[in-house]
Amino acid sequence: MVVALLASSRRELTPFVREILMPGGPDAVPKISKAHSRFALRKGESKIHRWGIYAKEDIPARRRVIEYTGLKIGLAEVRRRQIRPNLYLFVLTDQLAIDGAIGGSGAEYINHSCSPNVYANVRRGHIWLVSLRKIEAGEELLLDYRIRNSARKIECHCGSPACRGFLNLPE
């Protein structure tokens, strides 16, 4: 809502609004980077949340599917960006995160599920989403976000029979 009001007067936007609030906003549409994906993928509406990323072809188990890319930022900046209505932040270390809303590969639109079909493999500052099992063409890619150390619980809407109710890991 705030972003929509701000977008109506773009020439009056401050750098804070342009760089912090606007990226990944409600009007953002996924763009899949072929340079960062190893398989044919497509964007589509998701039953879980807004947009999702879907396999256009069968993906074998234990294969790198897509790299999660974006702007590397410190955790102080992560806290500042948490005012956005939609977050695409992936925490790498206790000091560094990647904001997929800026320079993302499309992987930032992979939704959470308590029954995922991909997992994150972090190596040398790169985040690869790897298939846990064979993923059929047409299937939505799903990642367990495994949120921890968060002051607030984030409700889950994955619909999995194994749903734990929250994106956060149990304490």
Which CATH class, in words, describes the domain spanning 31-69+104-171?
A: mainly beta
* 43-93: pLDDT as tens digits: 999 999 889 999 999 999 999 999 999 999 998 888 888 877 778 889 888
Residue type, 69: T
pLDDT tops 70 at residue 21? no
Cα 115 to Cα 162: distance, rounded to the nearest angstrom: 7
Q: What is the pTM of this model?
A: 0.84
φ, ψ dihedrals at 56, nearest 5°? -95, -10
